[in-house]
Structure 1
Amino acid sequence: MSTTTQDHCNSQAPLRFETKAIHSGYDRQANADAVSVPIYASAAFDLENAQRGDALAGGAISGFEYSRVANPTVDALENRLAALENGVGAVAVSSGMAAVTYALMCVAEGGGRIVAPVNLYGASVDALGDFLPQFGIHGDFVTDINDLDAVEAAIGPQTKAIYTETVANPSTAVADIEGLAALAHRHDLPLIVDNTVPTPYLLRPIDFGADIVVHSTTKGITGHGNAIGGVVVDAGRFDWTNGKFPQFTRNDLVISDQKAGKWNSFASRFGNEAFIKRVRTKYLRTFGAVQSPFNAYLQLIGLETLAVREKQEVASALAIAEHLQTLAHVTRVNYASLEGQSTHDFARKYLPEGVGTILSFTVDGDSTNVQRILNGTKVFSYVPNIGDSRSLIVDPTHVTHREVPQQYYDAAGVSDNLIRLSIGLENVDDLIADLDQAIAGAYIG
């Protein structure tokens, strides 16, 4: 009898990224020896008998009851992503914004403040600046997340976390993860990072001190623009019992046995997994942004080719960024891997294999020229997504960053003359030729 995939992976250490992306977190023998992870299209699972049902419901044994809380297909995706990010656990959810929202709400539950940069993805700026304040959670925005003095000055008694993107969208500015982690930990705060743009193939923030990592798995992880999803990954190192986070230390009925008089807090019950267990038990179970088994399956398939896709896409992105610098009507190119970019040193330190598949550039002229470029491309698709196998083009201030207040534009690296690209798997010469003809055509007549 062949060994299970899980046993095979545990038999050698450490496994390299490409191997983990295909094998980690899945036991073939527990799944009828299926080589590919099956799609468990079941809303609920047989508890078998009263005794086992009681044990499952009380958390005395592990297993599956109801797919709103856990599903075997989704579980394999969670285990694999936790392994790739070097975390202790993960919770997959229905979108990247669900992952961001759950992480921020869980850390600042009951009211608090989050220090964050203004160059976040537009929906994240809207969440912290306008929507989450309705729930008592407020964002304190700084112009430059790598200005550690400014970040520290924004920390106050109600601060619950520092939050940033590892690589900003669309500026590709790279965050100083080690510096921010050290600062956060001096103040007994966690560092939460959105690692969507580079994916865990190019960067694993937990290795540099981050405490919580979130992703929109819709993007590079899935890689084909065919499934929406998100994930929260817990490093399992932060001390949630330091007095700033009472939600982890107070007794909670849902994880206690009131009939037996046994009461638990998330910290006492789950130890270093307190955060990720609270995300699953309180946020996923209650708010219900559930990852579907079919979408989880598509993301697992995407993960299998993540490394080879990213290698080609990053090489193409760099070549295109370098080429754009030579064009007459291009006034600036944003790609942190380029020499002379403001966060190039951080790009070399944290992302030596490349900062990801997106870049942006500004052009001269006005909105008419921008629209002509957008409408003039033949290979690029005008789509508000990133990380697709197809190459995409968009104007952020009109689509992806509409929610960003105009006074943040310069610091966020966006303007009405900015165009963002997400580089896919097409031949790079075809992509360059497409941009050349679209840009040239936008200034004729």
Structure 2
Amino acid sequence: MTVRATLPTADAPSPSHGAARRVEDTFAALHGAGSALLVPGLVAATTATLLALTNPGGHIVASDQTCDPLRAVLTGELTGLGRAVTFVDCTDVDAVTAAVRPATQVVYTPSLSDPLMRLCPLNDLAIHAQMNDLLLVVDNTALSPAQLRPLEAGAVVVVEDTSPCLDGWGEAGAALITGLDRYLPRIHEQCARFGGEVDDWAAHLLERSLATLHLRVAAQRDSAERIAGALRAHPAVRAVHRPSFDEAPWALETHQGFGGLLSFEVQPYVRDLSGVLDACRRDGTALTTTARIPARTTHAHLSERVRREAGVSRQLVRLSAGVEDPGALLRRLRPALDACLAQGEGNGGERC
């Protein structure tokens, strides 16, 4: 018997045909919304959202945990278009209240900041926003709808990068926007002015990834909890940044967990973290734990003083937990942290 391959014709849609629309519908449903927008990148998604929800002369209160390149766009592009931006600690509702002006229209914050993993009290922030006729926009990238649905807490628009949660394989390189129906058309219009679109194949890959979102995030959450517990017990680690329900009992009403991200700081006398990075190095397969040093990557452009003021030291390591059993990672990581202790012994135990 001869088997013949069937080639697609002009009338036969590819597997990716219509994938962008299906991704939008799926993402909206995950957040309990009516519609969503798939756009090429978080910076474009956030900028378009904030422009659409404000007027020239308007004011935005933004989280001081906003990182570049988005922070540069907010302070540069938005200011050039007549919007004023004030950065404050959005985990402190009193600080947000103090920053509000008569011209304030939007409060913008991540639900969980990266890399310091500071949890935002969205319920309290939303109440304040509603009482003052402000629009709450939430970047939910670090948690995804599998862990938190900000619209239920009072946000009006949610933006999410597809990495690290929505697209577990890191292949799409896009962002999604959802929210109350009355705001999406004007955001869509603003996105269209920026141009660009997510290609069909990338949308197809993202659609495939969304089908396993809850399973993946649950595994990543459990791995992150186990890794955080092991790190807290090691003497080379002086701080682990990972929220918990014990520290934030109010989150029991809104959160299913805290995702797969965490960060930790080794003792300040440690200068060489190459062994820690090697222990967390990807093994070439998808969905494994990855590590980076923010002071050398996302925050490398900042001066030492500004980094320290932001709480990002040279000893801070940020981890994105994978779906694999973290046992093998911890067996590699413990000797690497032991070697960090040896650096202190080589310095006579000096802590600078």
Indicate whether 1:381 and 2:246 are aligned: no
Q: CA separation of 1:77/1:170 partners in 2, compared to 1, >3 Å: closer, same or farther? A: same
Q: Distance in 2 between matches of 1:220 and 1:412?
A: 25
Equivalent position of 2:215 in the other structure: 308
Equivalent position of 1:285 in the other structure: 192
1:363 pairs with 244, 255, 266, which one?
266
Indicate whether 1:354 and 2:257 are aligned: yes
CA-to-aligned-CA distance 1:33-90 (integer Å, 9 cap, x gap): x9xx9312xxxxxxxxxxxxxxxxxxxxxxxxxxxxxxx3211111111111112221
Please give the secondary structure, in 1, of the residue aligned with 2:69: helix
Q: How big is the shift at 1:406? A: 5.6
Q: Distance in 2 between matches of 1:220 and 1:151?
A: 28
Equivalent position of 2:73 in the other structure: 127
Please give the secondary structure, in 2, of the residue aligned with 1:440: helix
1:325 pairs with 214, 217, 232, which one?
232
Q: Match of 1:325, as an amino acid? A: R
Any stretches of 5+ residues in structure 1 without a counterpart? 1-30, 41-71, 237-271
Q: Distance in 1 between matches of 2:283 and 2:73?
A: 25
Equivalent position of 1:102 in the other structure: 48
Please give the secondary structure, in 1, of the residue aligned with 2:87: strand
Q: How big is the shift at 1:111? A: 4.0
1:166 pairs with 111, 136, 145, which one?
111
Q: How big is the shift at 1:133? A: 1.9
Q: How big is the shift at 1:149? A: 2.1
Q: Match of 2:155, as an amino acid? A: A
Q: How big is the shift at 1:314? A: 0.5
Q: Distance in 2 between matches of 1:372 and 1:76?
A: 43
> Residues 105 and 135 of structure 2 are in contact (CA less than 8 Å); yes or no, is this contact kept in structure 1?
yes
Q: How big is the shift at 1:367? A: 6.1
Equivalent position of 1:337 in the other structure: 244
> Residues 236 and 340 of structure 2 are in contact (CA less than 8 Å); yes or no, is this contact kept in structure 1?
no
Q: Distance in 2 between matches of 1:411 and 1:229?
A: 31
Indicate whether 1:276 and 2:173 are aligned: no
Q: CA separation of 1:406/1:116 partners in 2, compared to 1, >3 Å: closer, same or farther? A: farther
Q: How big is the shift at 1:105? A: 1.8
Indicate whether 1:431 and 2:319 are aligned: no
Please give the secondary structure, in 2, of the residue aligned with 1:202: coil
Q: Distance in 2 between matches of 1:111 and 1:407?
A: 32
Q: How big is the shift at 1:405? A: 6.6
Q: Distance in 2 between matches of 1:89 and 1:112?
A: 26
> Residues 299 and 307 of structure 2 are in contact (CA less than 8 Å); yes or no, is this contact kept in structure 1?
no
Q: How big is the shift at 1:437? A: 2.1
Q: Match of 1:313, as an amino acid? A: Q
Q: How big is the shift at 1:436? A: 1.0
Q: How big is the shift at 1:370? A: 2.7
Q: CA separation of 1:187/1:338 partners in 2, compared to 1, >3 Å: closer, same or farther? A: closer
Q: CA separation of 1:408/1:193 partners in 2, compared to 1, >3 Å: closer, same or farther? A: farther
Please give the secondary structure, in 2, of the residue aligned with 1:88: coil
Equivalent position of 2:64 in the other structure: 118
Q: When the two structures are aligned, how many residues end up with a matched partner?
A: 332
> Residues 382 and 393 of structure 1 are in contact (CA less than 8 Å); yes or no, is this contact kept in structure 2?
no
Q: Match of 2:314, as an amino acid? A: D
Q: CA RMSD in A?
A: 2.5
Identity within the alignment, %: 30
Q: Distance in 2 between matches of 1:404 and 1:201?
A: 33
> Residues 108 and 138 of structure 2 are in contact (CA less than 8 Å); yes or no, is this contact kept in structure 1?
yes
Equivalent position of 2:177 in the other structure: 232
Equivalent position of 1:38 in the other structure: 15
Please give the secondary structure, in 1, of the residue aligned with 2:243: coil
Q: Match of 2:184, as an amino acid? A: I
Q: CA separation of 1:202/1:372 partners in 2, compared to 1, >3 Å: closer, same or farther? A: same
Equivalent position of 1:255 in the other structure: none
Q: How big is the shift at 1:305? A: 0.7
Q: Match of 2:202, as an amino acid? A: N
Q: How big is the shift at 1:219? A: 2.1
Q: Distance in 2 between matches of 1:312 and 1:162?
A: 32
Q: CA separation of 1:363/1:412 partners in 2, compared to 1, >3 Å: closer, same or farther? A: same
> TM-score by structure 2 length?
0.86
- Largest Rg, 1 or 2: 1
Please give the secondary structure, in 2, of the residue aligned with 1:201: coil
Please give the secondary structure, in 2, of the residue aligned with 1:427: coil
Q: CA separation of 1:113/1:403 partners in 2, compared to 1, >3 Å: closer, same or farther? A: farther
Q: How big is the shift at 1:114? A: 1.1
Equivalent position of 2:142 in the other structure: 197
Indicate whether 1:150 and 2:150 are aligned: no
Indicate whether 1:82 and 2:28 are aligned: yes
Q: How big is the shift at 1:95? A: 1.3
> TM-score by structure 1 length?
0.69
Please give the secondary structure, in 2, of the residue aligned with 1:419: strand
Indicate whether 1:396 and 2:294 are aligned: yes
Q: How big is the shift at 1:221? A: 0.5
Q: Match of 1:74, as an amino acid? A: A
Q: How big is the shift at 1:279? A: 1.9
Q: Distance in 1 between matches of 2:208 and 2:302?
A: 34
CA-to-aligned-CA distance 1:237-263 (integer Å, 9 cap, x gap): xxxxxxxxxxxxxxxxxxxxxxxxxxx
Q: Distance in 1 between matches of 2:226 and 2:115?
A: 17
Q: How big is the shift at 1:109? A: 4.2
1:178 pairs with 114, 120, 123, which one?
123
Equivalent position of 1:214 in the other structure: 159
